[in-house]
A and B are shown apart, each in its own frame.
Chain A
Amino acid sequence: DAGITQSPRHKVTETGTPVTLRCHQTENHRYMYWYRQDPGHGLRLIHYSYGVKDTDKGEVSDGYSVSRSKTEDFLLTLESATSSQTSVYFCAISTTGAFGYTFGSGTRLTVV
Protein backbone atom coordinates (compact mmCIF):
# COMPACT_ATOMS: atom_id res chain seq x y z
CA ASP A 1 0.00 0.00 0.00
CA ALA A 2 1.64 3.23 -1.24
CA GLY A 3 5.08 1.64 -0.78
CA ILE A 4 5.40 1.89 2.98
CA THR A 5 7.03 -0.88 4.98
CA GLN A 6 7.84 -1.29 8.64
CA SER A 7 10.45 -3.49 10.25
CA PRO A 8 10.52 -5.58 12.25
CA ARG A 9 6.91 -6.80 12.31
CA HIS A 10 7.29 -8.28 15.77
CA LYS A 11 9.84 -7.75 18.50
CA VAL A 12 10.27 -8.83 22.09
CA THR A 13 12.81 -6.91 24.12
CA GLU A 14 13.88 -6.56 27.72
CA THR A 15 13.22 -3.58 29.95
CA GLY A 16 16.01 -1.03 29.77
CA THR A 17 17.31 -1.94 26.34
CA PRO A 18 17.24 0.49 23.39
CA VAL A 19 15.02 -0.46 20.46
CA THR A 20 14.84 1.03 16.97
CA LEU A 21 11.90 0.60 14.63
CA ARG A 22 12.23 1.42 10.96
CA CYS A 23 9.77 2.88 8.48
CA HIS A 24 10.61 2.97 4.78
CA GLN A 25 8.64 4.63 2.00
CA THR A 26 9.23 4.52 -1.73
CA GLU A 27 7.10 7.47 -2.89
CA ASN A 28 9.05 10.51 -1.73
CA HIS A 29 6.34 11.87 0.59
CA ARG A 30 7.41 14.78 2.75
CA TYR A 31 5.46 14.01 5.91
CA MET A 32 6.00 10.84 7.91
CA TYR A 33 4.53 9.87 11.29
CA TRP A 34 4.87 7.42 14.13
CA TYR A 35 1.77 6.39 16.08
CA ARG A 36 1.18 3.91 18.83
CA GLN A 37 -2.06 2.01 19.27
CA ASP A 38 -3.24 0.69 22.61
CA PRO A 39 -6.59 -0.73 23.72
CA GLY A 40 -8.84 2.03 25.01
CA HIS A 41 -6.62 4.80 23.66
CA GLY A 42 -6.95 4.52 19.92
CA LEU A 43 -3.98 5.87 18.00
CA ARG A 44 -1.74 8.49 19.53
CA LEU A 45 0.90 10.53 17.73
CA ILE A 46 4.46 10.03 18.98
CA HIS A 47 6.56 12.07 16.56
CA TYR A 48 6.35 13.26 13.01
CA SER A 49 8.70 14.55 10.35
CA TYR A 50 8.13 17.22 7.73
CA GLY A 51 11.41 16.75 5.90
CA VAL A 52 14.93 15.42 6.17
CA LYS A 53 16.23 16.23 9.65
CA ASP A 54 12.99 18.11 10.43
CA THR A 55 10.99 16.46 13.18
CA ASP A 56 8.56 17.47 15.90
CA LYS A 57 6.91 15.95 18.94
CA GLY A 58 3.43 14.56 19.13
CA GLU A 59 1.12 13.87 22.03
CA VAL A 60 3.11 11.01 23.61
CA SER A 61 6.76 11.69 22.78
CA ASP A 62 8.37 11.07 26.20
CA GLY A 63 10.80 8.15 26.04
CA TYR A 64 10.99 8.21 22.25
CA SER A 65 13.30 9.85 19.75
CA VAL A 66 13.24 9.90 15.97
CA SER A 67 15.59 10.52 13.11
CA ARG A 68 15.18 11.13 9.42
CA SER A 69 18.45 11.31 7.52
CA LYS A 70 16.87 10.39 4.17
CA THR A 71 13.45 11.17 2.72
CA GLU A 72 12.55 7.50 2.55
CA ASP A 73 13.48 6.41 6.08
CA PHE A 74 12.02 7.44 9.44
CA LEU A 75 13.39 5.73 12.53
CA LEU A 76 11.76 5.52 15.94
CA THR A 77 14.01 4.77 18.92
CA LEU A 78 12.94 3.78 22.39
CA GLU A 79 15.92 4.97 24.35
CA SER A 80 15.38 2.62 27.30
CA ALA A 81 12.36 0.41 26.79
CA THR A 82 9.76 0.13 29.56
CA SER A 83 6.76 -2.17 29.90
CA SER A 84 4.45 0.82 29.29
CA GLN A 85 5.87 1.00 25.77
CA THR A 86 4.48 -2.42 24.92
CA SER A 87 2.21 -1.50 22.03
CA VAL A 88 1.59 -1.71 18.32
CA TYR A 89 3.51 0.96 16.46
CA PHE A 90 2.34 2.30 13.13
CA CYS A 91 4.21 4.44 10.67
CA ALA A 92 2.21 6.61 8.28
CA ILE A 93 2.71 8.98 5.38
CA SER A 94 0.39 11.77 4.21
CA THR A 95 -1.03 10.77 0.85
CA THR A 96 -4.46 12.49 0.73
CA GLY A 97 -4.79 16.02 2.08
CA ALA A 98 -3.40 17.06 5.43
CA PHE A 99 -4.46 13.99 7.42
CA GLY A 100 -5.21 11.42 4.78
CA TYR A 101 -2.65 8.88 5.90
CA THR A 102 -1.46 5.65 4.43
CA PHE A 103 -0.35 3.42 7.27
CA GLY A 104 2.19 0.65 7.37
CA SER A 105 1.32 -2.81 8.63
CA GLY A 106 2.59 -2.11 12.12
CA THR A 107 5.21 -3.40 14.53
CA ARG A 108 4.05 -5.31 17.58
CA LEU A 109 6.54 -4.56 20.36
CA THR A 110 6.55 -6.39 23.65
CA VAL A 111 8.76 -5.19 26.48
CA VAL A 112 9.33 -7.83 29.16
Chain B
Amino acid sequence: LAKTTQPISMDSYEGQEVNITCSHNNIATNDYITWYQQFPSQGPRFIIQGYKTKVTNEVASLFIPADRKSSTLSLPRVSLSDTAVYYCLVGALSGGYQKVTFGTGTKLQVIP
Protein backbone atom coordinates (compact mmCIF):
# COMPACT_ATOMS: atom_id res chain seq x y z
CA LEU B 1 0.00 0.00 0.00
CA ALA B 2 1.15 3.51 -0.77
CA LYS B 3 2.04 5.51 2.34
CA THR B 4 0.70 9.06 2.37
CA THR B 5 1.79 12.08 4.42
CA GLN B 6 -0.07 15.35 4.83
CA PRO B 7 0.50 18.40 7.05
CA ILE B 8 -1.64 18.15 10.16
CA SER B 9 -3.05 21.65 9.93
CA MET B 10 -2.97 24.90 7.95
CA ASP B 11 -4.37 28.39 8.45
CA SER B 12 -5.38 30.77 5.70
CA TYR B 13 -7.14 34.11 5.40
CA GLU B 14 -10.36 34.45 3.48
CA GLY B 15 -9.84 35.19 -0.20
CA GLN B 16 -6.41 33.57 -0.40
CA GLU B 17 -5.44 30.59 -2.49
CA VAL B 18 -4.63 27.51 -0.42
CA ASN B 19 -2.35 24.69 -1.50
CA ILE B 20 -2.38 21.41 0.45
CA THR B 21 0.25 18.85 -0.43
CA CYS B 22 0.16 15.09 0.01
CA SER B 23 3.35 13.04 -0.25
CA HIS B 24 3.10 9.50 -1.59
CA ASN B 25 6.65 8.43 -2.34
CA ASN B 26 5.88 4.77 -3.08
CA ILE B 27 2.92 5.38 -5.35
CA ALA B 28 2.35 2.55 -7.80
CA THR B 29 1.89 2.83 -11.55
CA ASN B 30 -1.82 2.07 -11.34
CA ASP B 31 -2.62 4.36 -8.42
CA TYR B 32 -5.00 7.28 -8.79
CA ILE B 33 -5.02 10.28 -6.47
CA THR B 34 -8.26 11.58 -5.04
CA TRP B 35 -9.02 14.37 -2.58
CA TYR B 36 -11.89 14.67 -0.13
CA GLN B 37 -13.31 17.33 2.16
CA GLN B 38 -14.88 16.48 5.48
CA PHE B 39 -16.92 18.62 7.84
CA PRO B 40 -17.56 17.58 11.46
CA SER B 41 -20.15 14.82 11.88
CA GLN B 42 -20.37 14.24 8.12
CA GLY B 43 -18.93 11.76 5.69
CA PRO B 44 -16.09 12.88 3.43
CA ARG B 45 -17.11 14.58 0.19
CA PHE B 46 -15.34 14.02 -3.15
CA ILE B 47 -13.47 17.05 -4.48
CA ILE B 48 -11.25 15.98 -7.36
CA GLN B 49 -9.35 13.03 -8.83
CA GLY B 50 -6.35 12.71 -11.12
CA TYR B 51 -3.57 10.48 -12.39
CA LYS B 52 -0.95 12.91 -13.69
CA THR B 53 -0.39 16.56 -14.67
CA LYS B 54 -3.20 18.95 -13.81
CA VAL B 55 -6.91 18.49 -13.33
CA THR B 56 -9.34 21.34 -12.71
CA ASN B 57 -13.01 21.41 -11.85
CA GLU B 58 -15.40 24.06 -10.63
CA VAL B 59 -14.11 24.00 -7.04
CA ALA B 60 -10.42 23.01 -7.10
CA SER B 61 -7.32 22.11 -9.05
CA LEU B 62 -5.09 19.12 -8.58
CA PHE B 63 -1.42 19.28 -9.54
CA ILE B 64 0.56 16.07 -9.94
CA PRO B 65 4.24 16.29 -10.97
CA ALA B 66 5.77 13.91 -13.47
CA ASP B 67 7.23 11.59 -10.80
CA ARG B 68 3.80 11.44 -9.08
CA LYS B 69 5.42 11.24 -5.65
CA SER B 70 3.29 14.09 -4.40
CA SER B 71 0.11 15.90 -5.27
CA THR B 72 -1.19 19.36 -4.44
CA LEU B 73 -4.79 20.33 -3.96
CA SER B 74 -5.34 24.00 -4.77
CA LEU B 75 -8.39 25.84 -3.47
CA PRO B 76 -8.83 29.28 -5.05
CA ARG B 77 -10.02 32.19 -2.89
CA VAL B 78 -11.10 30.26 0.17
CA SER B 79 -14.04 31.32 2.31
CA LEU B 80 -15.00 30.52 5.88
CA SER B 81 -17.09 27.62 4.63
CA ASP B 82 -13.94 25.91 3.37
CA THR B 83 -12.86 25.30 6.97
CA ALA B 84 -12.71 21.51 7.05
CA VAL B 85 -10.38 18.52 7.04
CA TYR B 86 -8.94 17.56 3.66
CA TYR B 87 -7.83 14.02 2.87
CA CYS B 88 -5.83 12.61 0.01
CA LEU B 89 -6.45 9.05 -1.11
CA VAL B 90 -4.13 6.93 -3.17
CA GLY B 91 -5.65 3.81 -4.63
CA ALA B 92 -5.68 1.30 -7.44
CA LEU B 93 -7.43 -1.73 -8.72
CA SER B 94 -4.93 -4.57 -8.79
CA GLY B 95 -6.11 -7.88 -10.17
CA GLY B 96 -9.63 -7.04 -9.06
CA TYR B 97 -8.41 -6.25 -5.54
CA GLN B 98 -8.71 -2.69 -4.36
CA LYS B 99 -5.71 -1.18 -2.60
CA VAL B 100 -6.56 2.09 -0.93
CA THR B 101 -4.72 4.40 1.45
CA PHE B 102 -6.22 7.54 2.93
CA GLY B 103 -3.96 10.21 4.36
CA THR B 104 -4.51 11.27 7.96
CA GLY B 105 -5.93 14.59 6.89
CA THR B 106 -5.08 18.29 6.92
CA LYS B 107 -7.24 20.53 9.05
CA LEU B 108 -7.69 23.83 7.21
CA GLN B 109 -8.79 26.81 9.28
CA VAL B 110 -9.93 29.82 7.27
CA ILE B 111 -9.60 33.08 9.18
CA PRO B 112 -11.81 36.12 8.52
Contacts and interface: CB of A to CB of B under 8 A. Distances in A.
Interface in B70-112: 87, 89, 91-93, 96-98, 100, 102-105
Interface residues of B, number: 24
Interface of B: 1, 32, 34, 36, 41-46, 49, 87, 89, 91-93, 96-98, 100, 102-105
Contacts of B87: 42-43
A63 to B, nearest CB: 19
Contacts of A100: 34, 46, 49
Contacts of A105: 41-43
B34 A103 contact: no
Nearest to B45: A103
Contacts of B97: 56
Nearest to B97: A56
Interface string A77-105: 00000000000001010011111111111
> Interface majority SS on B: helix, strand, loop or mixed?
strand
Contact of A44 (B43, B91, B98, B102): B102
Interface string A31-60: 000010000111111001010000010110
Instruction: Tell me the interface secondary structure of chain A in the complex.
Output: strand
How big is the A interface, by class?
Answer: 20 to 34
A96 B87 CA distance: 16
Interface-centre pick from B44, B89, B96, B105 (highest chain A CB count, 10 A): B44
Interface of A: 1, 35, 40-45, 48, 50, 56, 58-59, 90, 92, 95-106
Contact of A106 (B34, B43, B45, B105): B43
Contacts of B1: 59
A58 B91 CA distance: 12
9 contacts: A42-B104, A44-B102, A59-B100, A95-B46, A99-B91, A101-B46, A105-B42, A105-B43, A106-B41
Nearest to A96: B46
